[in-house]
Structure 1
Amino acid sequence: MSSPADPASPRKPPRPVTRAVLDRMALAYLERYASSAENLRRVLARKVERRCRLRGEEPEAALALVEEAVARAAASGLVDDTAYTEARVASLRRRGGSRRAIAAKLAAKGVDAETVGAALARDAQARAEDDPDADPEREAAWALARRRRLGPYRTAARAENRDKDIARLARAGFPYGVARQVVDGAIDGEDG
């Protein structure tokens, strides 16, 4: 008799895709990750296609159930694109994400541009309420410079790496003027 770890032993095919199986898949994914509705749809579709391929079935019938599972998750409040977008905007801003980079990351997760724009506007408004002179792009550029040790956070050869640091911030989606201000700036309490 062969053991379960034996590669020669025949594997039992996975269970067929049903409504209950899809709901469990969605819940298992959402327990671990926050997600947009479109991202959940993509994840479930990949899982369904893989399971159907292992069973030797055509996935079309099972893929129709994916839309229903996503709709149930959204109706129960497990998936909320607006809340997901606002949380991701806040998180990415803290980490030093530019407006362009945030929009691109959220578009890749299937969030529409209108929802992203509204979340970015709310984030900027909230920051302006705390500090009327706040510039979210500049604050994010400073956060990225601090994390990546660019510009004033560089320990050595700051002048020699000036252009590289500006280019790094520009590749991260920051406008040239903001990148130059950050790289040429001084950390509060230090001379530049």
Structure 2
Amino acid sequence: MSYARRATSPPKPLDAEALERLALRYVERYATTRARLRQYLARKLRERGWEGAEPPPVDSLAERMAELRYVDDRAFAESKAAAMGRRGLGARRVGEALRHAGVQEADREAVAADSAEDAVESALRFAKRRRIGPFSASAADPDLLRRQVAAFVRAGHAPSIAWTIARLAPGADPSVLIEDGGRNKPSPSDWEL
């Protein structure tokens, strides 16, 4: 039995209406930013081409979606930061994810201030998930301790918070760190074992 290949014609080039339909469909399905919407529309234009005589209205379409509140960079940033914080990721990692998503600097800074307040809680969630410090079964040897702190730093946490949590004895009460707000951090000279 042979299968005949269907001849597929190239997709029809986009016009203003089709571009708007694509934008609406995208913001309907995904929480996004203006920058990501622009990237999506630009990709679709590369794939299908443009039919109009004037340039495609990608920027004005993204701005109009923002005016209609279909796209809200600040709400996206807050939601993304909260989700990453619940996973135990640190402020630096959150900031990079928001920058990569195209969130404007003013919105990133506002969300970063909120993330900084929850830095210790987020680090403790990371420690619990990875069984580090007070959540581990046994005390860590110096090499394991360094690797654990490196994992904290890769997750976006400050080294001072990482060393403080990683050095806590197994079974220790980490609530003191939350109440302290991370103010009792070791100095950089304490980072060495």
The TM-score normalised by the length of structure 2 is: 0.75
Match status 1:86 vs 2:82: no
| CA distance in 2: counterparts of 1:158 and 1:32, whole angstroms | 46
Q: Is residue 162 of structure 1 aligned with residue 145 of structure 2?
A: yes
User: Secondary structure in 2 aligned to 1:174?
Assistant: coil
Distance 1:153 1:71, change over 3 A: same
Change (3 A) 1:10 1:118: same
User: In 2, distance between residues paired with 1:122 and 1:177?
Assistant: 19
Aligned to 1:11: 8
The question of whether the paired residues in 1 share the 8 Å contact of 2:90 and 2:156 is answered with yes
1:158 and 1:24, CA in 2 relative to 1: closer, same or farther beyond 3 A? farther
Count of equivalent residues: 171
Residue aligning to 1:139: 121
Q: SS of the residue aligned with 1:97? A: coil
1:132 matched residue in structure 2: none
Gaps of 5+ in 1: 125-134
Q: Which AA in structure 1 matches 2:18? A: V
- Look up the match of 2:18: 21
Aligned to 2:98: 106
Structure 2 residues without counterparts, runs of 5 or longer = 175-193
**Closer, same or farther in 2 for the Cα pair 1:155/1:11, shift >3 Å?**
farther
Shift in Å, 1:123 = 5.4
Matched, 1:179 2:162: yes
- Tell me the C-alpha RMSD between the 2 structures: 2.8
Structure 1 residues 182 and 19: CA distance shift in structure 2, 3 A: same
Residues of 2 paired with 1:68 and 1:182: CA distance? 48
The 4+ residue runs of structure 1 with deviation greater than 4 A are 57-62, 186-190
Q: Percent identity?
A: 32
CA contact (8 A) 1:36 1:84 kept: yes
Following the alignment from structure 2 to structure 1, what is the Cα–Cα distance between the partners of residues 89 and 71?
A: 24
Decide whether the 8 Å contact of 2:13 with 2:51 is kept in 1. no
